[in-house]
């Protein structure tokens, strides 16, 4: 069984570096003007050029999204962008519109083209059509089962990619119009307002002002927001079906998410490549529960949904851990840390480092930038603190989200005593 590529989101330069650090084989990114994640940090001009240089300099691959559905007013800008990409030379561009495909062929003929999931490839004939035009890779529609993917794989010779983790739109492969109607911002040009995640109530037209809550019971739900996709337990089946690239969604997510998901899936993909029977490590699920999600589903891969349903259950984001900081430098057992949250002496923290992922460490001593001893530091402070030998430069430091509130309660109780 061939080990698939692990493809990670790079919403900005920091996320790009984080994804590479934790083991991504490739990243995808885009310019806000032509990307379906227009609100991500994104890359333009020299920053995009630098991003391509950084990724390829590490022997990894970088794919640039040009996957909006453009109007006539957008075409000239896309032509100029393709000319720019022809000079920058990413490993591929990702497109969904046939017109953009044609522009890429004309303006950047040497650039490989990947067909976006928004192109809705759900059958072999569609796959063969794009292959006949010269596409290098097909990112299949999210509505396909593993058996349907296998059938397509048997008929085409180009690469196949599927999403394995992250948010799912309750629309056909992401082609949604809710945001356009409710907020006049088109999801298909990268301006999605996530309208499906808003809180909704029902109102009967003759009972104006009487709002009925939308809720879920044993018979079903009308909630628009789905659970997040998670295929960590079934990667071997996807690889056996002939998928060449496993894609993680999340260009809008923070580095805590990018680091944690990429780290877990890196270990899982490597486990596929080791041969023998693929076994999911229970620790992987514990780690995936540390950052925000809407709960998990296996999407459409198995056709009929398993015991848990597809819809988000209405709870707020699940998130057990929060980001504390990033290790910038290490000198022996002393780490220079850029804080992203408040940190106090005696806080219990975890290092997102191989082997010690779930070990707790107490913050015994901290020093500020002048090497003065301190007992507390804030977001954006640079501090010096002890770190275990296993912790590496660029590793993240995290803490249980409820740890600080528990400390406050303990302090209040102590004061009452």
Report yes or no on 316 lying in a domain.
no
- The separation between the first and the last C-alpha atoms of the chain, rounded to the nearest angstrom, is 63
Whether residues 80 and 158 fall in one domain: yes
Q: What is the pLDDT of residue 92?
A: 98
Burial of residue 372 (CB within 10 Å: 0-12, 13-18, 19+) is exposed
Distance CA 33, CA 336 (A): 37
Report yes or no on 313 lying in a domain.
no
Whether residues 271 and 409 fall in one domain: no
Whether residues 288 and 396 fall in one domain: no
Q: What is the pLDDT of residue 124?
A: 97
Q: What is the pLDDT of residue 310?
A: 53
Whether residues 173 and 246 fall in one domain: yes
Report yes or no on 303 lying in a domain.
no
* Six token digits for residue 242: 């002939």
* pLDDT tens digits along 154-166: 999 999 999 999 9
Q: What is the pLDDT of residue 249?
A: 93
Q: Whole domain around residue 331: which residue ranges?
A: 321-416
Residues in the chain: 417
Q: What is the pLDDT of residue 143?
A: 86
Q: What is the CATH number of the domain that holds 354?
A: 2.40.30.10
Low-confidence residues in the chain, pLDDT < 70: 1, 36-42, 170-191, 194-202, 211-225, 304-318, 403-417
Last residue of a domain, one of 263, 297, 331: 297
Last residue of a domain, one of 282, 297, 312: 297
Whether residues 245 and 339 fall in one domain: no
* pLDDT tens digits along 347-384: 999 999 999 988 999 998 899 999 999 999 999 999 99
Q: What is the pLDDT of residue 222?
A: 40
Whether residues 141 and 74 fall in one domain: yes
In the numeric block, the tokens 């249980």 are attached to 400
pTM for this predicted structure: 0.84
Contact 48, 31 (CB under 8 A): yes
Q: What is the pLDDT of residue 196?
A: 67
Whether residues 411 and 270 fall in one domain: no
* pLDDT tens digits along 132-191: 999 999 999 988 999 999 999 999 999 999 999 998 876 656 666 566 656 666 665 566
Report yes or no on 93 lying in a domain.
yes
Whether residues 330 and 404 fall in one domain: yes
Report yes or no on 105 lying in a domain.
yes
Report yes or no on 207 lying in a domain.
no
CA dihedral 191, 171, 232, 287 (to 10 degrees): 50
Report yes or no on 306 lying in a domain.
no
Whether residues 229 and 357 fall in one domain: no
DSSP 316: P
Q: What is the pLDDT of residue 219?
A: 41
Distance CA 385, CA 394 (A): 15
Distances (CA, A) of 405 to 109, 166, 345, 364: 57, 29, 15, 20
Q: What is the pLDDT of residue 336?
A: 97
Report yes or no on 196 lying in a domain.
no
Whether residues 231 and 372 fall in one domain: no
Return the bridge partners of 202, or none.
Answer: 212
Whether residues 269 and 174 fall in one domain: yes
Q: What is the pLDDT of residue 209?
A: 77
Q: What is the CATH number of the domain that holds 154?
A: 3.20.20.70
3-state SS class at 136 = coil
């Amino acid at each position: 069984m061939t080990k698939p590529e692990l493809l990670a989101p790079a919403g900005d330069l920091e996320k790009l570096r984080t994804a590479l650090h934790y083991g991504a084989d490739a990243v995808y990114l885009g310019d806000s003007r032509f990307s379906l994640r227009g609100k991500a940090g994104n890359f333009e001009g020299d920053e995009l050029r630098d991003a391509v240089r950084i990724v390829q300099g590490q022997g990894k691959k970088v794919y640039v999204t040009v996957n909006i559905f453009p109007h006539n007013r957008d075409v000239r800008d896309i032509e100029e962008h393709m000319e720019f990409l022809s000079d920058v030379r990413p490993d591929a561009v990702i497109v969904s519109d046939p017109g953009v495909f044609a522009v890429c062929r004309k303006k950047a003929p040497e650039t490989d083209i990947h067909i976006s999931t928004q192109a809705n490839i759900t059958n072999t004939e569609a796959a063969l059509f794009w292959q006949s035009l010269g596409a290098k890779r097909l990112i299949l529609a999210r509505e396909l089962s593993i058996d349907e993917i296998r059938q397509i794989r048997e008929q085409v010779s180009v690469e196949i990619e599927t999403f394995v983790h992250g948010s799912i739109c309750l629309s056909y492969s992401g082609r949604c119009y809710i945001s356009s109607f409710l907020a006049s911002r088109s999801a298909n040009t990268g301006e999605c307002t996530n309208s499906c995640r808003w809180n909704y109530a029902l109102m009967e037209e003759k009972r104006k002002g009487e709002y009925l809550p939308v809720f879920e019971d044993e018979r079903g739900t009308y909630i628009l927001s789905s659970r997040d996709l998670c295929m960590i337990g079934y990667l071997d089946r996807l690889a056996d079906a002939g998928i060449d690239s496993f894609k993680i969604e999340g260009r809008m997510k923070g580095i805590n998410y990018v680091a944690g998901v990429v780290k877990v899936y890196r270990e899982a993909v490597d486990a596929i490549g080791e041969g023998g029977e693929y076994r999911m490590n229970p620790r992987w699920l514990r780690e995936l529960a540390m950052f925000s999600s809407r709960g998990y589903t296996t999407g459409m891969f198995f056709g009929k949904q398993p015991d848990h349903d597809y819809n988000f259950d209405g709870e707020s984001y699940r998130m057990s851990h929060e980001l504390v900081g990033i290790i910038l430098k290490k000198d022996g057992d002393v780490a220079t840390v850029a804080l992203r949250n408040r940190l106090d002496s005696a806080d219990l923290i975890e290092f997102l480092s191989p082997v010690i992922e779930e070990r707790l460490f107490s913050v015994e001593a901290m020093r500020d930038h002048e090497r003065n001893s301190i007992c507390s530091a804030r977001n954006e402070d640079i501090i010096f603190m002890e770190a275990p030998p296993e912790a590496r430069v660029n590793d993240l430091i995290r803490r249980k989200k409820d740890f600080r509130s528990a400390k406050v309660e303990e302090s209040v109780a102590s004061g009452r005593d």
